[in-house]
Amino acid sequence: MTHSLEFEFLGDDADGQFVPVGGPLSQLRGQLARQDIDGAVRLYEETGASARAGLILEAVTASFELKKAIALMFKRARDFAAAGEVYQTLKLDAEAAPCFEQANDFVRAADAWKRLGEIMKAAAAYERGGRLDDAVALYGQAGSKEQMAETLARGQKFEAAAALYRDLGNLHGEVETLRACVAATPDAIQPTMRLAELMTHHGHTDRAVELLMTSVRASEKTRNDSGLLEYLARLLESTNNPAAAAKVRARIPAAPSQTPQPIPVLRAALPMPTATPGGDAYGFLKALPMFGDLSLEDMRSLFRVCVQHGFGVGMHLIEPGQAGRGLFVIIDGQVEVFSGIGPDSRLLNTLGVGGYVGEISLLLDGPTSARVTARTQVKALFISREAFKQYVFNTPNAAMRIYRLFSSNLAERVRTLSAGR
């Protein structure tokens, strides 16, 4: 007696396949119905996921418990895209969102986070998914202007980003964004003038003159802008170069007003930040071993998320036993590092300009073991743990390089300690 083999067709017309009845799909159904998740995972992995499409379809009409079993099996088998699909049918967005992120489906992850009311996570996922406008809108909804500015900068919307950094009083963030804007768009007149204004305010008039001269040479638009030329002429006069100022004024298309005008700014003046734009500060951050493989773009992006803090003598940057706050890079002054507190504490190290503390808290969660105290007046760049987490999430190539170097340096420390025993 001849028996014919029965098949069922799984999937759509283009990508579907015939699977023998009683094959992997049937066996998986039985295991999942019995809640034998481990067995189902092994079978799913061994059969090359031939039953994937059928299980996803079945999850649409299956019972709640069976759906959960299917989703859990997919998740444990590392098929995160399928797991996200099934969790979404269950309306379990808290489970679906991380699965979609693991599958690099960031827009669907963002949609799930948004439904959960996790606005910051949704915004970050939208950015990873290329939906920058949605990300900026959600960061604004959450009141996170720093993240709005950084997202705009990464999306090369430099003028809007610079305006936000200015509102926040983040001088180096504004300066770095203006520099990027001028580099990308040499005839951007207002950003060029604002950058020159900041340079002049902080004692770098010669650099401001050089910037404006470069801008004038860059395009017809800047060569014919009366405001920029007048600004350049007045800066040349302030550096005792009246002959050059006269030549610039001779090129101004329309004669300027006889009434002296203030040096133009982008809009109504705000209190000027007291910090100095940091060429050295950037260099100190760049010199840290864990950032040694970052590209110029990723390094500049990291610098923008820094904020500058000041500490008086005796103030603590880090307290033992507390959750690590983030990384401090000393750009002025000295700090002392002690082992714990109390009479048994001992001085471990004294760090000056270019030194750094707290880098482990960027990557590893847990309480700190040392106390770090300002020995003198101190200025430090600070990257918070949360800001760093956002940074590495949105710059995956940078994250890979940072973690690789961090792991290598940590392994070298362990080898050194082991050799010293």
Q: What domains does the chain contain, in order, with CATH numbers?
A: 15-141 (1.25.40), 145-250 (1.25.40.10), 280-290+306-419 (2.60.120.10)
**pLDDT class of 407 with cuts at 50, 70, 90:** confident
Q: What is the mean pLDDT of residues 311-323?
A: 91
Instruction: Tell me the C-alpha distance between 47 and 389, whole Å.
Output: 38
Q: Give the model confidence (pLDDT) of 255-267 as tens digits.
A: 544 444 444 443 3
Show the tokens assigned to 240.
Answer: 């005792």
Predicted model pTM: 0.76
Instruction: Tell me the C-alpha distance between 16 and 50, whole Å.
Output: 10
Instruction: Tell me the C-alpha distance between 263 and 284, whole Å.
Output: 33
Q: What is the mean pLDDT of residues 365-388?
A: 91
Q: Give the model confidence (pLDDT) of 258-305 as tens digits.
A: 444 444 443 333 333 333 434 478 889 999 988 999 998 899 889 988
Q: What is the pLDDT of residue 98?
A: 97
Percentage with pLDDT > 70 across the chain: 86
Q: What is the pLDDT of residue 19?
A: 46
Q: What is the pLDDT of residue 414?
A: 64
Bridge pairing between strands 378-384 and 326-332: antiparallel
Q: What is the mean pLDDT of residues 10-38?
A: 72
Q: What is the mean pLDDT of residues 63-67?
A: 92
Contacts for 226-229: CB closer than 8 Å, 24+ residues apart: 226/252, 226/253, 226/254, 226/256, 227/189, 227/193, 227/264, 228/189, 228/192, 228/193
Bridge pairing between strands 356-357 and 307-311: unpaired
